[in-house]
Amino acid sequence: MDKDCKKNTTASTSGQTDKKPGASGLVFAITEGHAANTS
C-alpha cells in the first residue's frame, strides 16, 4: 500500500511538472503566431 501511494504521488507530481512546460510551450507558440501575423 505504502509503495503504491508513493508511486501515485510521484506520477501526479511529474504529471503536473510536465504540464507546466507544455503550457509554456503552447503559449510561446501562440505568441510566435501572433508576432508573425502582426509583422
List pLDDT tens digits, range 1-39: 556 555 555 555 555 555 555 666 677 777 777 777 766
pLDDT at 17: 53
Q: What is the pTM of this model?
A: 0.25
Residues 6-38 as b/e (b if ≥16 CB within 10 A, e otherwise) read eeeeeeeeeeeeeeeeeeeeeeeeeeeeeeeee
Domain range for 3 is: 1-39
* Chain position carrying cell 509503495: 3
**What long-range pairs does 22-31 form, CB within 8 A, spacing at least 24?**
none
Total number of domains constituting the chain: 1
pLDDT at 31: 76
